[in-house]
Chain A
């Protein structure tokens, strides 16, 4: 069965500092991995995805994520945080080899960027 863990309920960072939001996953086959962001009273917006190839994936709004197969992790990063990055972030995984279309989401990490 697929699963995703986001070990931190909240991450606090000062504006201008680098940020990391952690995600680890478990699938029986090879993963497709996704990050989404949710602003207050809105749906989820797609940020980036890992399919195959380069382990460093670049996405929207200056975010990137690093796929690490040995550690089964897909941490979201940004070199310099903005106050406007404050939101709820979700990691999600899909098992590439089973062919199912279903995504499994983590419980979410709230990012708070202080001025």
Chain B
């Protein structure tokens, strides 16, 4: 089974802090994704990456950056955390070559910015 592991289930940070969310997958997937989930808004794509050191902006990239130095690891960075970034963050991965393949998700990080 595919395993996508997010480093923290719950995280509390302060406004203005630099925040790192880590995600690791064990299935040699080329694609990795970061979403945020908010009630009534569903999942919104922040950034995705289809290869090491490659990244593409999603629908809501403002205030975020990402890093992919190794194939299995995709990091989401909040440069200067703000209260409106309080949310559930979900990481996902998938094979690149077959777009009919599902994305596999981690269990999420519930981030609170105080």
A residues touching B (Cβ–Cβ < 8 Å)? 9, 32, 34, 36, 41-46, 49, 51, 90, 94, 96, 99-103, 105-108
Contacts and interface: CB of A to CB of B under 8 A. Distances in A.
Contact of A44 (B45, B48, B105): B105
Interface centre among B31, B108, B110 (most CB of A within 10 A): B108
Contacts, number: 56
A20 to B, nearest CB: 19
B107 A105 contact: no
Contacts of A46: 102-104
**Chain B contact patch, size range:** 20 to 34
B42 A107 contact: yes
B12 interface: no
A41 B37 CA distance: 12
A107 B48 CA distance: 20
